[in-house]
């Protein structure tokens, strides 16, 4: 747990200093979250080790709870200090601080909220929903478990990127589709349970989002609202980048009866980079998460021989995805190689995933 604690908690004082003091602290916080993490991923040995799956990992639950509460605290700082009086002034200081907050929300708060909405205890799931709602992305807490996990790797999942689909086109389709399909799933479940309409989770998502925007306006006027909205938009882009990168081009086959095959190790991209795994609470071990959604993050497994592996860390590949032509040059040959290997394995010509070329970046 030491790596998870260091990677997720150390940026917190830097973010507070960036908002309260300004000066170079915004750039320091941003550099810590981006450049230092990328450097450590390059220098540290790849982490292929797997923890025992039968451990309870109580400390992992405690860290998730701490990070969820810390996120709410950071939201209040962002609303009150970045946009209102008493904090840093001028875009030269507000800009890097806001960017650092957005990166932390997208690469730490999001993986943690994702972990929380999969926990069996209702209080933890509600905290995860609240975290997503403060990023104006509450519907993700419904669409992710009730749509994405059910239909991943198929055309019915808005968050599965198709081969050849650029990120910016995917961004529009995935945002709208996940909002719509999550609403339908929650409405269906509400009717099946016989509960009244005011219990609909989307009412809470919208209420929290409006409250955050109203507070931003109250503290900092239109400027404060624009800063907070910008932080949330950048965080949402990172969330959708994660889905885009981790499922690009990977499809589940259909059985003779028309049903989709079970989710397996080959339906998500993974990375073994140690620093990113620690900062993102093992989210890059994505295949095992989809196979065992209830497994807590320290226990997620990684298999270099059976799981598709990305050539670089998840944040680096997300950066590549921002340039669709570059992304397709890197990833389409890998997707095609996996599909060929799967076809050959089905015909008895191959039995293992081929080692993809790792020299395209």
Confidence of residue 342 (pLDDT cuts 50, 70, 90): confident
**pTM exceeding the 0.85 threshold for the entire prediction:** yes
d(CA 197, CA 149): 25
Asked if residue 261 is part of any domain, the answer here is no
d(CA 232, CA 175): 14
The number of domains in the chain is 1
Asked if residue 246 is part of any domain, the answer here is no
| pLDDT single digits (tens) 124-148 | 999 999 999 999 999 999 999 999 9
The CA-atom distances, in angstroms, between 26 and each of 75, 93, 135, 229, 300 are 16, 7, 20, 18, 33
Asked if residue 62 is part of any domain, the answer here is yes
pLDDT given at position 50: 95
Domain limits for position 297? 2-151+161-234+285-303
Asked if residue 47 is part of any domain, the answer here is yes
| CB-based contact 265:292 (threshold 8 Å) | no
Q: Is the pLDDT of residue 174 over 70?
A: yes
Asked if residue 248 is part of any domain, the answer here is no
Asked if residue 58 is part of any domain, the answer here is yes
Residues 6+ apart with CB under 8 A from 256: none
Q: Is the pLDDT of residue 351 over 70?
A: no
Asked if residue 214 is part of any domain, the answer here is yes
Asked if residue 313 is part of any domain, the answer here is no
| pLDDT single digits (tens) 259-308 | 999 999 999 999 999 999 999 999 999 999 999 999 999 999 999 999 99
The encoded tokens of residue 183 equal 């609403």
What proportion of the chain, given as a percentage, has pLDDT over 90?
81
């Amino acid at each position: 747990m030491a790596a998870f604690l260091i990677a997720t908690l150390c940026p917190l004082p830097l973010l507070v200093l960036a908002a309260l003091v300004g000066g170079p602290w915004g750039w320091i916080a941003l550099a810590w979250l981006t450049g230092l993490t990328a450097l450590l991923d390059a220098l540290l040995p790849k982490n292929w080790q797997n923890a025992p799956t039968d451990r309870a990992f109580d400390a992992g639950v405690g860290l998730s709870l701490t990070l969820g509460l810390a996120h709410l605290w950071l939201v209040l700082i962002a609303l009150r200090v970045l946009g209102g009086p008493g904090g840093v002034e001028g875009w030269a200081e507000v800009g890097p601080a806001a960017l650092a907050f957005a990166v932390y929300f997208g690469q730490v708060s999001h993986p943690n909220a994702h972990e929380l909405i999969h926990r069996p205890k209702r209080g933890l799931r509600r905290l995860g929903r609240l975290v997503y709602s403060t990023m104006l992305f509450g519907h993700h807490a419904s669409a992710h478990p009730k749509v994405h996990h059910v239909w991943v790797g198929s055309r019915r999942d808005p968050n599965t990127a198709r081969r050849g689909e650029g990120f910016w086109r995917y961004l529009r389709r995935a945002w709208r589709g996940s909002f719509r399909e999550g609403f339908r799933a929650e409405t269906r479940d509400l009717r099946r349970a016989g509960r009244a309409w005011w219990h609909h989770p989307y009412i809470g998502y919208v209420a929290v989002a409006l409250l955050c925007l109203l507070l931003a306006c109250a503290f900092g006027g239109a400027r404060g609202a624009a800063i907070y909205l910008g932080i949330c938009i950048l965080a949402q882009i990172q969330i959708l980048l994660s889905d885009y990168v981790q499922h690009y081009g990977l499809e589940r086959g259909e059985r003779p009866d028309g049903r989709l095959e079970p989710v397996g190790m080959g339906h998500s991209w993974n990375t073994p980079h140690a620093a990113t795994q620690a900062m993102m609470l093992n989210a890059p071990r994505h295949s095992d998460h989809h196979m065992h959604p209830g497994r807590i993050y320290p226990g997620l497994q990684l298999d270099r021989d059976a799981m598709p592996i990305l050539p670089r860390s998840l944040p680096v590949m997300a950066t590549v995805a921002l340039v669709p032509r570059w992304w397709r040059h890197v990833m389409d040959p890998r997707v095609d190689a996996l599909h060929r290997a799967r076809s050959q394995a089905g015909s008895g010509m191959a039995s293992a995933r081929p080692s993809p070329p790792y020299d395209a970046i």
